[in-house]
Structure 1
Amino acid sequence: MALWKPDPSFYPSAKMAMQAPPERHAYVAALNPDGGEKPDAICVVDLDPDSASYSQVVGELELPYVGDELHHFGWNACSSALCPFAPHPHLERRYLVVPGLRSSRIYIIDTKPDPRQPHIVKTLEPEEVIGKSGYSRPHTVHCGPDAIYISAMGSAKGDEGPGGIFMLDHFSFSVVGPWELHRGDQELAYDFWWHLAEDVLISSEWAKPSQFENGLVPEDLLANKYGHRIHFWDLRKRRLAQSIDIGAEHQMLLELRPAHDPTKDYGFAGVVISTEDLSASVWTWYREGGEWKMKKTISIPAVPADEESLPEALKPFKAVPPLVSDIDLSLDDRFLYVSCWGTGELHQYDVSDPFNPRLTGKVEIGGIVARKGHPKADRQLLGAPQMVEISRDGRRVYFTNSLYSSWDDQFYPDKMTGWMVKVNIDPSGGMELDPDFFVDFGKTRVHQVRLEGGDASTDSYCFPS
């Protein structure tokens, strides 16, 4: 009789996950923006320093359609499968769930038996996704204990109606339906995550499809029409419990990173830009007296710049905003990494005290004005730290440089090319670019990175460290 065993990449706690073997491969969303002439792809990058093909693309799955606009994607299953209230320990971390943000198509991609040759096993066409979920423009994927959760930026009718979350079945990958039962006045959507042990889901806000698909709309930004609220939901009842408006000037409250330890009920949220002074910020959410609260704990100022060196959208301001587009939290809840896509910096903060972060490291590469290079790239680089991913042991950080095709062209009008780099981390604080790791994707732009076996923005844990 066959005996079911949990996937060895599942861990009850974040501390146990930090003892996992080092990652060998990265899966990277690759976007081909040249007029819809070539499909997007999932690329496989060799991460093994002892391999002859280290820092090279060793596999590529070209998708069957053009114009999907790959953006974020995730694993079908992760450590949340071990949670006691909805255990699915017989699941396997095997499939990548890959949405097309522009097409509303979803690919299910198998990474086995050969991790360097991923292949499509199922395609959810837009008609099925939109018809069964009530949503369009799927964005963020999280492997929950009871299903696969996917956020969506638009409604079935595009801009008419709210964005939200829908679910896929763990086994058939069919669309189960919309997640929310009682949404209150929540309208804009973007990221989401949870405190599973507290039965709390948190969601954030970006924009409606008309406000991002063809680029940033300056008039809407200056009128503070992008998202600036965070929402706290009853996860089991699927009901909005509380919303916090952090101030309309804090535009685009995007990435959410809750503490990995389930005994902690705080987390971090990144804000792209303030319309008051072009600064970016990171906020800490926490619970006090039964209510959720938000506190700004990191502020990153804009950098003055010569008008002639700026893209058209920034010339009137004579400054480069940091444009914090991603944040990521190490599994020990100690270091928060903040990507500044405008100025070309990756910041490392010690957040052992989540209300008093301390800057402990910084690397510089790319940037709207600086365009700083890399030891393995003998040229100025366009783009900057964007999507960030941390190894489970916290010793390595990988990031890519593209945000979204139309936004890339607005802020880096000289036609960005795609690249990926690695940062080596000092366990006591501090970091430096790995001089031997630079992946040049040429005209193909790259966004989300997923690490084979799991990473710091994939798994949720239901047992304390």
Structure 2
Amino acid sequence: MSTALHMRPDPTFYPSARLAMEAKAETIGYVALLSKDNTKPDALAVVDLDPTSSRFGTVLNKLVLPYIGDELHHYGWSACSASLCPTSGHAFSERRYLVVPGIRSSRIYIIDTKPDPRTPKIAKIIEPEELKRKTGYSRPHTVHCGPEGVYISTLGGKGIAGDESPAGVFILDCDSFEIRGQWEIDRGDQFAHYDFWWNMPHDYMVSSEWGLPPLFENGVVPEALMSGKYGHKLHFWDLRGRRHIQSIDLGANHQMALEIRPAHEPTKDYGFLGVVIDNTNLEGSIWTWWREGGKFHAKKTAIIPPEPADPELLPDMLKPFGAVPPLITDIDLSLDDRFLYVACWGTGELRQYDVSDPMAPKHTGSVRAGGIAARKPHASGAPFHGGPQMLEISRDGKRIYFTNSLYSTWDTQFYPSDVPGQMVMCHVDDAGGLRLDPEFRIEFGADYGAHQVRLEGGDCSTESFCFASV
């Protein structure tokens, strides 16, 4: 697909996290829009993030996909700073294509952002039959650009329900976009899957668990939640050997171990995990994992409690509890590894933690918008639906963008009054703390929910580095 005729690396490939922070700021963002009722195709919105532009904070374009029922989720670039690793065979690839999976359809779109990044076009479609035939996987979810190709995690295995065999990771060629096959040589006790990331110079990968498709496609299954059937393990892998080396069980009460955020600095051997809910008390938690003495360890380092609420303001599932769980659905780490941001989709709060000491996160800031019971308006005074959900941090760490939709069936379950898609921005103070921009608020319309955000030139939730900052 890519001509790969460049004689120098893409200037948006950064050797180190610090150099990425010093690069030119983003002027364009891409936002995944999903049909809330599955009656029309999903879309990819192009938004103006240039504060000097007359169209700042508006939708510049919208690429509507050709099929119904994809449910776009976590997509990413086909090539990024990982291409500069000494082991890479793709140092002259471009940050040009977005790899966009649909987790309901198991279809994958390759979106070309050139020659005009404001008018992306579909370059290739990988149909679900090809994915299943070549990998045995279904429900592709998270995309990470690696040194030798595109890694894509899946939430389902074989069978109509996707639960007849393990979910896992497969590799996509970053130039031809041909599927190579399953990544794992030995998966150990790993069966369910969700997020994954790595430390490439230290040659290991970390993965987490959500649950097999019957546990999430039609909404949360309360009986499964209370009986500990959702994912609650971390898995560690030999990255180059593609072998499972260790698992850590967080305890069956810690349900839905989701987003993984390793330190961006490759000399650091630690990272963070967000756990959605403790089924014994409704709290959410942040865990720090690290490697010491040749073994990996994990510890709960921050707790976010539920908030009492009038049962009349709650959806049926939460009425018996008289409280709203935070529902930690995303976390993101700034490129300098200083601030961890935590999206509490249930309570409508975005929290900032100083994680300079990764074993003792300090709560340093908070903004509120939406929430199941709080229903806090945006700083502009306009209604904000849902709550802070998918996060993206600017490379310089000064801006946080977030959207409000989790997953179509979960949106309906937790926010039955509707979650039309929105995107807002926070400013980060140098000493810590954050504040919502009252002027920046993008409405995507009643037909769409808004999910993943990707930034021109790379972002904090996918970029990997192989060289230490100076």
Range class of TM-score, shorter chain: over 0.9
For 1:428, give the aligned amino acid. Answer: A
SS of equivalent to 1:60: strand
2:429 alignment partner in structure 1 = 426
1:464 has 2:468 as partner:
yes
Q: Give the aligned partner of residue 378 of structure 1.
A: 382
CA distance in 1, matches of 2:47, 2:258: 27
5+ residue gaps, structure 1, are none
Pairing 1:90-109 to 2, within 5 Å after superposition: 90-109=92-111
How big is the shift at 1:442? 1.7
| 2:21 corresponds to | 18
Matched, 1:407 2:410: yes
Selected match of 2:341 from 337, 343, 354: 337
Partner Cα distance (1:305, 1:375) in 2: 22
Q: Indicate the residue corresponding to 2:41 in structure 1.
A: 39
Query: What SS is found at the alignment partner of 1:219?
Result: helix
434, 449, 455: which is aligned to 1:445?
Answer: 449
| Aligned residues of 2:6 and 2:93 also touching (Cα < 8 A) | no
- 8 Å CA contact 2:34–2:71 kept in 1: the answer is yes
Amino acid corresponding to residue 249 of structure 1 in structure 2: N
1:55-454 equivalences in 2 (<5 Å): 55-157=57-159, 158-376=162-380, 378-379=382-383, 381-443=384-446, 444-454=448-458
Question: What secondary structure sits across from 2:317 in the alignment?
Answer: helix
2: CA distance between counterparts of 1:95 and 1:3?
A: 15
| SS of equivalent residue, structure 2 residue 177 | coil
Q: Which amino acid aligns with 1:22?
A: A
Partner residue of 1:48 out of 44, 47, 50: 50
Cα shift at 1:110: 0.3
1:50-92 Cα distance to aligned partner (Å, 9 max, x none)? 1111110001000000010111100000000000122422010
- Could you report, residue by residue, the CA deviation over 1:127-155 in whole angstroms, capped at 9, with x for unpaired residues? 01111111000000000001100000011
Is the contact made by 1:81 and 1:91 (CA closer than 8 Å) also made in structure 2? yes
Q: Distance in 2 between matches of 1:382 and 1:291?
A: 43
Residue type of the alignment partner of 1:103: S
Maintained 8 Å contact 1:131/1:156: no
Task: Give me the whole-angstrom Cα distance separating, in 1, the residues matched to 2:450 and 2:462.
Answer: 18
- Asked if 1 retains the 8 angstrom alpha-carbon contact of 2:76 and 2:98, the reply is yes
For the residue of structure 2 that corresponds to 1:442, the secondary structure is coil
Aligned equivalents of 2:111 and 2:224: distance in 1?
Answer: 37
1:156, distance to aligned residue in structure 2 (A): 2.5
Counterpart Cα distance in 2 of 1:428 and 1:129: 47
SS of 1:197's partner is coil
The answer to whether the 8 A contact 2:72-2:100 is kept is yes
Q: Match of 2:83, SS?
A: helix
Aligned letter for 1:16?
L
Q: Please tell me the root mean square deviation across aligned C-alpha atoms, in Å.
A: 0.9
Task: Indicate the SS of the match to 2:116.
Answer: coil
**Could you tell me how far 1:377 is from its partner in structure 2?**
5.2
Greater shift, 237-246 or 87-96, is seen at 87-96
Name the CA distance, whole Å, in 2 between partners of 1:442 and 1:281: 33
TM-score relative to the length of structure 1:
0.98
Percent identity over the alignment is 63
Contact 2:6-2:92 at 8 Å conserved across structures: no
Instruction: After TM superposition, give the deviation of residue 375 of structure 1 in Å.
Output: 3.6
**Equivalent position SS for 1:252:** strand
Cα distance in structure 1, aligned partners of 2:174 and 2:189: 30
For normalisation by structure 2, the TM-score amounts to 0.97
| 1:21-69 deviation line (CA, Å, top 9, x unaligned) | 01001100000122x3210000001001111111100010000000101
| Count of paired positions | 462
Return 5+ residue gaps in structure 2 as ranges.
none
Give the partner amino acid of 2:60.
Answer: V
Instruction: List 4+ stretches of structure 1 deviating above 6 A.
Output: none
